[in-house]
Every structure is written in structure tokens, then in C-alpha cells.
Amino acid sequence: MRRASLATGLLLLAVAWIIVLPFGGRESFTIHMIVHMSVVAGAAPLLAVGLSGSRHDLTVRWPWFTPVIASLVELLAVWGWHLPAARVMAEAFWIITALEQATFLAAGLLLWLSCLGGAQEGREARQLAGTFGLLFTSMHMTLLGALLSLSPRPLYGTENVTCFGVTLGAAVDQQAGGVVMLLVGAVVYLLGGVLLLSSALGPREHSGGRL
């Protein structure tokens, strides 16, 4: 299960970074958001499942890195890279694009690891904190997705762009990207928070073998 999850996460990263980003239309905000959501809401939780509890689980060595702290790091990464100036830089230079994507992966992976991994001792309390972290992330992604979708003017330029070979106006491209964040990011983090809460509050087996 862990190996399959890790392999699937790596495969999703390869598809997003090697195929979708360079060939789907790098200047398109919709493509950017598809790749972004593939990284933080697709690959990151899969990789976290594969790495949790292993020697590569950084949250075992960093018990102070709680889900609440991780969710704040995710907030800064997501909102910071969606500032208009940051988007212009990321679209203009591949090195900035690489830094942006590395930041998304690191922030997303640390958040999911902080919720799913860590030392066995105190796991229930970490899961409860993880519920808050994931729900908070779902809320701020919902807010950002709504702002992007409902903005009366394009924030990232006015030129037409190509998305998977289809020409889109700047405003439509931005709105479509915002919808992708709403449908994928907000929903995945909300579902993760609900499942984590259910796991934390579910029945536990005691040493005597009874629930």
C-alpha cells in the first residue's frame, strides 16, 4: 500500500511537471492551477501516505512542526505565489517556475505528513490538529478560488492564452483556474479533514482486544 501510494504520487508529479506544464500551455493560468492542484492535492497526500512513519518522515524528527504550523506555511506559499508580481516572474523564467513548484510540493507534503505521519505516540492529538489544519487550508483555498473566479478583471495580464490548444481570453482563463482550485483543492482538503476527524474519533482497540 505504501509503495503503491508513493509510486502513484511520483507518477502524478512526472505527468504534471513533464507533460502538462510544458506542453499544456505554460502561460495559461488554468494550466498553472491544474499543475498546482495535482501537486498539493494529488501527489502530496499520496507521497505522505507512502512516507509516513518511515525514516523519511520529517515530522517524526520535527515534533514541533504541527499541522497548525504546516497549514500556515501552506497559506503563505499558496497566496504568496498567486500575487500578480510572483505570477509574472514564474511565467517569464523557468528557474522561478521550478522554485514555485518546489515550494508547492514542500508545503503540501509537509502539511499532509504533519497530519498523517509523525511518531506513534500522540498520534490521536496530531490527527485532531490535522483536522483543523486541513479544514483551514480548504477554507483559504475556497476563498482564493472564489476571488479568482469572481474577479471583475484579469489579475495576471490581458493577452489571450492557449490552454491545451484552445485559445482563451485572460479573464476566462483566470476564472477557469479559480474554478479548478474550488473544485479540486477545496474539496480534497475538506474531505481529508473530515476523514481525519472520523479516524481520530473512531473506536480504538485496547490491549485486552476489546473496543
Give the pLDDT confidence of 165-210 residue by residue, as tens digits: 899 999 999 999 999 999 998 889 999 888 888 876 765 544 444 3
pLDDT at 178: 95
**Closest alpha carbon to 107 in 132, 76, 61:** 76
Residue 87 — φ and ψ, nearest 5°? Answer: -65, -40
Does position 4 have pLDDT exceeding 80, yes or no?
yes
Task: Flag whether pLDDT at 122 surpasses 70.
Answer: no
Sign of CA dihedral 19, 21, 25, 26: negative
pLDDT per position as a tens digit, 68-108? 999 999 999 999 999 999 999 998 899 999 999 999 999 99
What's the DSSP call for residue 167? E
Return the pLDDT at 197. Answer: 83
Q: CA-to-CA distance for 44 and 28, rounded, in angstroms?
A: 23
DSSP string, 101-166: HHHHHHHHHHHHHHHH-S-STTHHHHHHHHHHHHHHHHHHHHHHHHHHHH-SS-SS-SS-EEETTE
